[in-house]
Structure formats: structure tokens, C-alpha cells
Chains A and B, each alone.
Chain A
Amino acid sequence: MKGQQEWSRLAWHGIAFDVPDDWCPGSVEGDYANGYLRVEDEASVRMELRWETPRRGAPSAPDLVDSYLKQTRRKLPRGAPEPRVDRGRAIQELAGLDHEAFTWRGGFHAHSVLLVAPGGARVVHARVFFEEGNEEKALARRIFGSLRVGPYDGLEEWSVFGLSFRTPQDWRLERSSLRTGCLQLVFQAGGDQLEVARQSLAEFTLRKSSLAQWLEGFFIKALRTYRLSSEPAEYRGHPAARCTGVQSLRARPLAALRRRRHATALAWHCPQADKLFALRCDSTAPDDPRVAACAATIVCH
């Protein structure tokens, strides 16, 4: 492992860990209960993370490792040499949590840790791949030591491509779009919706429109049925725009029969990072305070 390596946080569905700065997500699948995340560097796949929710309470970590090894051995081609497995290791930072670390040297080489989240809610299996002769034990130990499975204090951690924030644990990711220069994550809780977005090339974008115009345009699909009012503001010393509105009865006449829905949106421009951060909430509360609460957790520069 390189001594002066920089690290960054990666968190998805409340499962968080540190990775070297040049590693980033290559593929994400699934939802809160079951899913998969692949982490790559410039050249190859470096890490895989799988999580699942056991149907009938989670077995212990050693039992899960037994079952994983059995399955992996079964997949080996006929005549393949017997893999070398070093088991029964513990990660100091995960003390108090049901986990087992082990190393597999066979068709592929990987350091692994299998962790049962407190309460047995989710089982997380992280694998860090290495090439023969370059075991990178310290690197794997650092990654596994930083592994946290939320929620913590009722909040789930999210961190992807440098966009880091926390959401209340009842918000579940509905959909996400990790496009070049634009990250969008939409969460749902009951009938309410929260969207967190980050756009790169902020200066370039703001040459064509004001921040308030950009905010309304960015969320135009979600906000088109609202009567909106925007105002410039300041957020954490950055230029910002705030936008609130109530559902238009002209656009949605049936909304008169139900409790009116309100939209709250906030965007700010962080010149240091040259990024635009935006949040939108659709709920029955006017000027929903959850927007401000979530915005406060975003690390912008």
C-alpha cells in the first residue's frame, strides 16, 4: 500500500466504508434490502460489496462464511486446485459486531469480511481483490475497519463520487441517476419525496441562467404542477436560491379534495468545488424542514 494514499468515503444504502481516492463505483444494483456494489480503479475491479436481508433472522457470521465457502467451492471448475482459505480473523475496529474476516486464494484472490449488522437486519459481504504476490493486507484492513452498516442516530449515510449526505432512516432510495457531471438521488417516505442532486461545471451552467432559473428548470418535471415563488438567498456563505410552492388546482383539480401538497427546493453554488447542489421535497408540509435538515449534512467543499 502506498503510504501517502488519499482516501474517500463511499456509502450506499447506509453501508459506508473508506476506499483509496482513485477507486469509485463501477456498478450499483438492488435496493436497501438486497444489493450489490462494485468498486473499480482506473484499471480493474478492486472491490465488491453484497448485502442482503435474511428472511428468518441472520445466522452467525461463521455460519454464513461456511455457506459462502461451500457455494464458492462448488463453482470451481473440475480439476481446479483446492483453494487456500485462511479463516477466523477478526477486525479490531469491528469488535463487538458479529463478523469474520477471511482470505481466499483460488481462481481469484480476495480478502473478505462478512458482517452481520446489529439486530441481524442485514448481512454485508465485502471482498477486496488482490493479485498473487501483492496481497495489500493493510489496504484491506483499512477498508474493512472503516465499514459501518447504518442507521446511526436514525440517519443513513450516502456518499458517492464526492457527494456526501445523510437522510432520515425512513427515507428509502426510489431511484438514482449517476450521470457524468450530474448525480440525482430520489428518496421516498410514505407519499413524500426528497431529491438530492449535484451538478458539476457550475460556473459554466450559471453563465446561461440565474441560480433560481436553473433550480426551477432542473426540477421542472417534478415542479410543473406547483405555483412557485423563487427568491435568491444565501446558504453557508454561498449564493443560493430557495423555491416554494403549493400544488396548482388548475393543473390538478382533484388536489382540492385532498390535503394540498407543497414543494420546497433549495440550491446553492459552491465556487470552491464548482458544483451546484440542489434539494427538493414534495410533501404536505409547507417549507418542509427536512430539506434544511438534509442540506445541513451535505459536504460541499
Chain B
Amino acid sequence: MPVRNVAIEEERTDDGEVRLVIPLRAPRWAWPLSRLLYVPKTRRLVLDEIGSYVWSLCNGERSVREIIQALSQRYKLHRKEAEVSVVAYLRQLARRGLIGIAVRRTDATRDPQKR
């Protein structure tokens, strides 16, 4: 289940799109430099309408399959079309550290010795 990175703040633009405010951590070597020059502490990333919708579904409660279903229903997409685009998009978000993937606890994962 995709879950949003709690360190990231989100804002809504006038168009209803999501703007992510991503904190930046400057490397140690850049500290002295940051006293002299302006080094931004955050980076902003605006998601388009569809990206914003997928982002809103990444709440740690919906599985990837549920997100695919929701997207295909809302935008009248074929299941495979939605699947390919959602998986690629989530992979991109995960690679940038904007989301993580939570694994739902089952009896087997709770107590592996009982297997």
C-alpha cells in the first residue's frame, strides 16, 4: 500500500492541483557556503490533475490494485491502461522518496514462527 512521506507538506493550487513542498537537506560541505549564498531549504513540485488524484489515494489504506481501479473508473480507462500508468507513476514517486510502500500485516507476518 503506497503511503505518503510525512516530511512532505502539500498545498492546493488554485486549479485544485497538489503542490508538494519537499524539504531539502544540504550536504555538509555546503554548510559554509550556505552562510554566504542563498540555498533553498525546500523544493516545490506541482502534480497535474491525474497525478494529484493518485497522490490523494496514496494514504496507506488503499492498495495499488484499489488505486488502479479507482483511476480506471474515474477517467474511464481500460484496466491495463490504468495499471501501466499507475505502476510507472508510483515507481517514480517512490524513487524520489515521496512515497513508501507499506505492507499490510497478516497473521503470517505478525508471528513468523507460527508458519
Contact = CB atoms under 8 A, between A and B. Distances in A.
Contacts of A201: 50, 75, 77
Given A181-B85, A204-B50, A22 B77 contact: no
Contact of B76 (A42, A161, A275): A275
What's the interface size class on B, roughly?
10 to 19
A162 interface: yes
Interface in B24-73: 49-50, 65
Which DSSP category, helix, strand, loop or mixed, fits chain A's interface?
loop
A31 interface: no
Interface string A173-207: 00000001100000000000000000011001000
A22 B79 contact: yes
A16 B50 CA distance: 34
B28 to A, nearest CB: 42
Given A180-B85, A204-B75, 7 more contacts: A22-B79, A42-B83, A180-B88, A200-B75, A200-B78, A200-B81, A275-B76
A29 B76 CA distance: 27
A162 B80 CA distance: 11
A24 interface: yes
A278 B6 CA distance: 44
Nearest to A22: B79
Contacts of B80: 24, 161
Interface string A269-294: 00001110000000000000000000
Interface of B: 49-50, 65, 75-81, 83-85, 88
Interface residues of A, number: 13
A24 B76 contact: no
20 contacts: A22-B79, A42-B79, A42-B83, A161-B78, A161-B81, A162-B78, A180-B81, A180-B84, A180-B85, A180-B88, A181-B77, A181-B81, A200-B75, A200-B76, A200-B78, A200-B81, A204-B49, A204-B50, A274-B75, A274-B76
A82 B12 CA distance: 65
Contacts of A204: 49-50, 75
Of listed B78, B79, B84, B88, residue having the most chain A CB within 10 A: B78
